[in-house]
Amino acid sequence: MEVETVEVNCDGKIHKIVKYHLTQKDTLLIDSLDIGAELAGKVNIKDPAGVPRDVATRIAKCSGGVIAERIFKDFIERRMIEEGKTKTELSEFELYIPPGDYSKGQIDLIIRRKNGKKPMLKIEVRSSFSYKTATIFNVVRYAMSLLGPYTTIVKLGEEIKDFHVTVIHRVDPVDLLQQSRKRGIDSYIVGGGTKEMFQDSQHTMIDDLYQEGASYKIIRPMCEGLDAYDVAEKIITQILHSQRKDNNG
């Protein structure tokens, strides 16, 4: 696994994203593909537009979601360890991946106290595939959006989480399994938004993303939202604020 920070210049504003290069031997990638194959038998066989998906498509989409979830968890844990050198109270908290409830929608990550296990923050991680846009820089600057809560023909409602994060895989989903097993893949944590941002109509827009009957809350372009490090900073700030509030309460 190779992790690096990539800076995208958006009209003078620097938007930091995090690139994960996962080789075909990385445990994170291997496990994600295995879990994705298992989940493919549990999710709705229809896509957001209500069109049935074959098994291969469902495996690719599910695997992409698991990879996104795992690398974002890894990134936040790295940031918490780094910040924990001076903010020792962060060691009292952990990131937890709860069992998915596919009838109601999955909460990808929960931040909770290690002792009490009570959820403190809920984080949804969305994954998308980009293989036509020439560079990840153009993906962030104009080609794609940060994804928030959505409804579709087959999913009539969704709770807004404390954070919604987007991860981009630079591969055609049709080739995900073959490429992953031959040479690995590149995935990017491109940023996200807070609950308040996605509730603010001045900050978001509604788009069907070329899926009939769908309604996504999005931030476009991506650099109008939080970058990967902004998301991590706000998560850590909320953890510390809640911890100090509990101690004083």
Contact predicate 95/77, CB 8 Å:
yes
Contact predicate 165/128, CB 8 Å:
no
Arithmetic mean of pLDDT, 4-19: 97
Question: How is 141-206 classified by DSSP, letter by letter?
Answer: III--EEEEEE-SS----PPPSEEEEEEE-S-GGGHHHHHHHT-EEEEEEEEEEHHHHH-TTT-EE
What average pLDDT does the chain have?
91
pLDDT of 238 over the 50 cut: yes
Arithmetic mean of pLDDT, 44-62: 83
Q: What is the pLDDT of residues 99-137, one digit of tens each?
A: 765 434 455 899 999 987 788 999 999 999 999 999 999
pLDDT attached to residue 51:
77
pLDDT of 177 over the 90 cut: yes
Apex CA 49: angle with CA 48 and CA 50, to 5°?
90
Output the six-digit token pair for 164: 């919604």
Arithmetic mean of pLDDT, 223-233: 98
> Distance between CA atoms of 7 and 176, rounded to whole angstroms?
26
Question: What percentage of residues in the chain have a pLDDT greater than 90?
Answer: 73
Helix ranges (H only) for 40-175 are: 55-83, 136-138
The pTM of this model reads 0.93
> Distance between CA atoms of 98 and 39, rounded to whole angstroms?
14
Residue 11: which region, alpha, beta or left (left: phi > 0; alpha: psi -120 to 50)? left
